[in-house]
Amino acid sequence: MKKLFYFDTSIWLDFFENRNEPNFPKGELVNNLLNKIINENDKILYSDLNLIELKILGYSIYELKDMFKVLKAILIFVESTNSQIGKAKDISAKRSIPKGDALHAIISRDNHAILITFDNHFKKLVDIIKPHKPQEVI
């Protein structure tokens, strides 16, 4: 059965910027996961929230189109709904986590995708979706 993944925005940054730290090769781990996804013909969801967050960090729409173009064959775009945004706001307020992280979790859950993240905020959302680090699914 083909798998569907959802990357939080930090994972996309780790890949696009090849972000590695001493003793923690995040970019390399994400790259290895992407290779596995490609080899197994799996798919990755990306959302309007990913694009919004990347634009806030300074990427232009043209840069984003170029960056995502290389992965076009395995990508599926999803747009967050007003209902999902409302739920994320509520969860964010109740659990003291960023609204974006709550929305990433909800988008992933609602689309039956495996959430990929290094972010510890998602530990507060395990009742919504179980987060996975790239190395856990490679």
What's the pLDDT score for residue 1?
76
User: Full-prediction pTM beyond 0.75?
Assistant: yes
Mean pLDDT over the full length of the chain? 96
Q: Supply φ then ψ for residue 97, to 5 degrees.
A: -130, 160
Query: pLDDT for 97-110, tens place per residue?
Result: 999 999 999 999 99
What's the pLDDT score for residue 128?
96
What's the pLDDT score for residue 89?
98
Q: In the CATH hierarchy, which fold is given to the domain comprising 4-137?
A: Rossmann fold (3.40.50)
8-21: average pLDDT: 96
Residue 57 burial (CB count, 10 A): 10
Both tokens assigned to 67: 């960056």
* Residue 91 neighbours by CB under 8 Å, 6+ apart: 97, 102, 105, 106, 125, 128
Query: pLDDT for 48-94, tens place per residue?
Result: 999 999 999 999 999 999 999 999 999 999 999 999 999 999 999 99
- The C-alpha atoms of residue 28 and residue 3 are separated, in whole angstroms, by 21
Both tokens assigned to 51: 């694009």
Q: Confidence band (pLDDT; 50, 70, 90) for 16?
A: very high
